[in-house]
Amino acid sequence: MLEICEIFNSIQGEGWRQGIPAVFIRFSGCNLRCKFCDTPQAFTEKNEMTEETIVKTVKRLAKKYPGITNVVITGGEPYLQDFSMLVGMLKKAKFFVAVETNGTIWRKIPADWICVSPKLQAKKILKNGYDERFKHIASEFKYVITRRADFAFIDKEISQPVILQPVNNNLKIARMICNEMKKNGMPNWFIRLQQHKLLEIK
């Protein structure tokens, strides 16, 4: 049994793979409490579901939209729960499975794509705010930027794409990110806004 907040259709609005239609599985609960969290429902809404029921729900939603072949597992923090069996079942059903995590909890999950989004408050327990083992398997890293000082938190040893996302699509912060990237950026840094919010869709 897994604790699920919601399952819904949308587009991937964030990160390297933004713009791709997908079925989202939002897990309940998180081990961090970020001030800028935009999914407070993950703390309050919880439904216990079997892996079989989740896959059945995903298939039903995808059947309505034949263009959907992607699943995004997000939260909250999915890695609070062992969802490796769910990933295996979704891949067997021919879905491409992406996972979003804050990177503080290590599990070896056989996902097709792993986005690690380190949070500053996690630096109290982990040197760079995430478990170093993710550096070897993550597909991308994503940092939510709230102020110029956040640039000091970015791990410059990451070789994967690093997405810099202005909090709440704040244009003033976005312009600041652009200026910082021009002066001190790395070749693998990219600025991205949250597409789903710009389009005003879930």
pTM of the model: 0.95
14 is catalytic: no
136 is catalytic: no
d(CA 159, CA 135): 8
Let me know if residue 88 belongs to a domain: yes
Beta carbons of 141 and 155 less than 8 angstroms apart: yes
- Assign 189 to helix, strand or coil: strand
Q: Work out the pLDDT band at 43, boundaries 50, 70, 90.
A: confident
Strands (E), the chain: 2-11, 21-27, 47-49, 70-74, 96-101, 113-116, 140-145, 162-166, 189-191
Q: Work out the pLDDT band at 36, boundaries 50, 70, 90.
A: confident
Let me know if residue 29 belongs to a domain: yes
5 is catalytic: no
- Tens digits of per-residue pLDDT, 2-17? 999 999 999 999 999 9
Is the pLDDT at 57 greater than 90? The verdict is yes
Let me know if residue 18 belongs to a domain: yes
112 is catalytic: no
Q: What is the mean pLDDT of residues 156-174?
A: 97
Number of domains in the chain: 1
Closest CA to 4 of 28, 23, 22, 24: 28
Let me know if residue 8 belongs to a domain: yes
Q: What is the mean pLDDT of residues 98-123?
A: 96
Q: Given 3, 6, 37, 96, which residue is catalytic?
A: 37
Q: Given 5, 27, 30, 83, which residue is catalytic?
A: 30
Q: Given 45, 146, 180, 196, which residue is catalytic?
A: 196
155 is catalytic: no
* The pLDDT value given to residue 44: 86
- Assign 56 to helix, strand or coil: helix
37 is catalytic: yes
Let me know if residue 37 belongs to a domain: yes
**Between helices 84-92 and 51-64, what is the axis angle to 10°?**
40
Q: Given 6, 34, 180, 190, which residue is catalytic?
A: 34
Let me know if residue 114 belongs to a domain: yes
**Domain span at residue 99?**
2-142
100 is catalytic: yes
Q: Given 14, 77, 100, 150, which residue is catalytic?
A: 100
Q: In which residue are the tokens 């503080």 written?
A: 104
Let me know if residue 189 belongs to a domain: no
Average per-residue pLDDT in the chain? 94
* The pLDDT value given to residue 66: 86
Query: Which CATH number fits the domain that encloses residue 84?
Result: 3.20.20.70
